[in-house]
Amino acid sequence: MKKPENFNKVDNETIKFGNTEIEIDVCNDGFFVQQRHDGGWKNCVLFEMNWDKNQYNVKICAIGEGTDGWYIHEGLPMQKESMLTIERFKDFVLSGMYDVVNKVNLDVVEPDTMGMTDMTLTEIIHSVASQSGPNLLYQVTENVLGTSDWSCTCPAYQYSKELPQTCKHIKQLKP
């Protein structure tokens, strides 16, 4: 996929994220997401976009340190549908940010962990766009406590005869 022509239109867009306003800051590597007002988060999130490979990485960076940081996801598939409009792009950002805040405390920067929290999280839920319907999203759940169980709300997963059950949405996300 080529970099969308209107990608730069999302620069400085603001999104309500729970009780916090977050802002998108487009850069050469992709875009940062950070808290809109000073005094809160000590970290920001960098979504590194690889337009040639249709993939992106998610990286935690200390505010003021540029693109230096550590990855929490690498090589995630990029959905073309999520880049078609500014509203869909904002939904893509929100989905990614919910995943991030389930893994990382953005309020603190700790040496060697850059704000990583206690990883007692039991599951992560990803929203994946359906290829059959433009406004249809499936929830892919990833169990992260050692069992690596995955599930999806799509019909293909529900009727899968494979063991363990799977579908194209899980295969798209699973490393």
pLDDT in tens, 88-128: 888 888 888 888 877 777 776 654 444 444 444 456 778 88
Judge whether 43 and 116 are in contact, CB under 8 Å.
Answer: no
Q: How confident is the model at residue 156 (pLDDT cuts 50, 70, 90)?
A: very high
Is the torsion defined by CA of 125, 128, 130, 134 positive or negative? positive
Mean pLDDT of 126-138: 81
Q: How confident is the model at residue 15 (pLDDT cuts 50, 70, 90)?
A: confident
pLDDT in tens, 33-82: 988 766 667 788 999 999 888 889 888 888 877 888 888 888 888 877 77
Domain positions in the chain: 1-117, 122-175
